[in-house]
Amino acid sequence: MSLTKQIPNLVTLLNLLSGCIAMVFAVNNNFVAAAFFVCLGIFFDFFDGLLARLLKAQSPLGIQLDSLADLVTSGVVPGVIMYKLLLIASNSSDVTMLNAEWSTSSFDWSGFRLPILPLIGFFITLASAYRLAKFNIDEDQQDYFKGLPVPANTLMIIALPLVLEFQNNEIATSLILNQWFLIGLTLVSCYLLNSNIKLVALKFKTWDLKTNMWRYILVVASAILLATLQFMAIPVIIIVYIILSIFHFNTENTK
């Protein structure tokens, strides 16, 4: 295979490298830097497919490599971030006597203490791996997604520490530092990743208004929400995306 044909794979490897760097920052509680490298990885993830189509370099190797890179950037990293948030929340929350034992219990191995409750955060990693494996063998998902794409789910997760870091909102902070909210969000995230909900593919094949009406609505709504709510807008945008997709496919079915 020529060097030109390898360019998309090199971009995919940049996605993987970005995910590895993001993981190092996340493990060391630098969530801002972790979020930056996750977004950089998602940027590379978007353009590797575009380059593959432009250079006519699509291959089974590229498909598998893309999923492996996504598993790190959009699977392992959000799992680590949720683990860290649950760890912070379980240490800072005023837990009741009923759940205090569960919240503080841990494995002790050669002097290393591994808290049990925060490990629930890695359910996101498991659900992401399962979703990516299903996507690779599902021939239906060419013009739409079945379940929430892992990059979208990752953006929702990494938004949480960014809200804590940059937005002084007491309600949002109290929610994000509530371990039961985080557990609930983790379970919802795992469900959405592997649900059968049809979601509009976000890539524009043409600029036609009628064909891309729902995509344009999502872009405009996202811009307004980001301008008004900043990082808190990201989970809201995911909800809007799901609702618009449901309307879109319901409208198609009634035609």
Query: pLDDT tens digits for 55-106?
Result: 776 777 878 899 999 999 999 999 999 999 999 998 864 444 334 444 555 6
Burial of 87 from C-beta contacts in 10 A (0-12 / 13-18 / 19+): middle
Of 69 and 50, the structure prediction assigns the larger pLDDT to 69
- Choose the weakest-confidence range: 36-40, 51-55, 63-67, 119-123: 51-55
**Are 210 and 162 members of one domain?**
no
| DSSP annotation of 204 | -
pLDDT bin (cut points 50, 70, 90) of residue 215 is confident
The structure's pTM equals 0.88
* Single-letter amino acid, residue 27: V
Q: Which of 164, 181, 196 is the last residue of a domain?
A: 196
Say whether 112 sits in a helix, a strand or coil.
Answer: strand
| DSSP annotation of 74 | I
Residue range 104-115: mean pLDDT, rounded: 66
**Are 223 and 109 members of one domain?**
no
In degrees and rounded to multiples of 5, residue 199 shows phi and psi of -120, 140
**Are 190 and 249 members of one domain?**
no
**Are 224 and 99 members of one domain?**
no
Range of the domain at 218: 197-255
Q: What is the pLDDT of residues 125-176, one digit of tens each?
A: 999 999 999 988 887 766 788 999 999 999 999 999 999 999 989 999 999 9
Residue range 45-52: mean pLDDT, rounded: 80
% of the chain exceeding 70 in pLDDT: 85
Closest CA to 157 of 42, 41, 78: 78
* Cα angle value 25/237/51 (rounded, 5°): 65
**Are 205 and 97 members of one domain?**
no
Say which CATH number the domain at 157 has. Answer: 1.20.120
Token pair of 30 as six digits: 């630098």
Predicted pLDDT of residue 56: 76
Predicted pLDDT of residue 101: 47
Q: Which of 147, 170, 196 is the last residue of a domain?
A: 196
**Are 140 and 64 members of one domain?**
yes
**Are 32 and 92 members of one domain?**
yes
**Are 240 and 192 members of one domain?**
no
Instruction: Determine contact, residues 77/154, Cβ cutoff 8 Å.
Output: yes
**Are 25 and 53 members of one domain?**
yes
Predicted pLDDT of residue 104: 54
Q: How many domains does the chain have?
A: 2
* Cα angle value 191/196/201 (rounded, 5°): 105
**Are 61 and 154 members of one domain?**
yes
Q: What is the mean pLDDT of the chain?
A: 86
Cα separation of 215 and 217, whole Å? Answer: 5
**Are 110 and 179 members of one domain?**
yes
**Are 85 and 103 members of one domain?**
yes
Predicted pLDDT of residue 200: 86
pLDDT bin (cut points 50, 70, 90) of residue 216 is confident
Closest CA to 6 of 61, 81, 79: 61
Predicted pLDDT of residue 106: 63
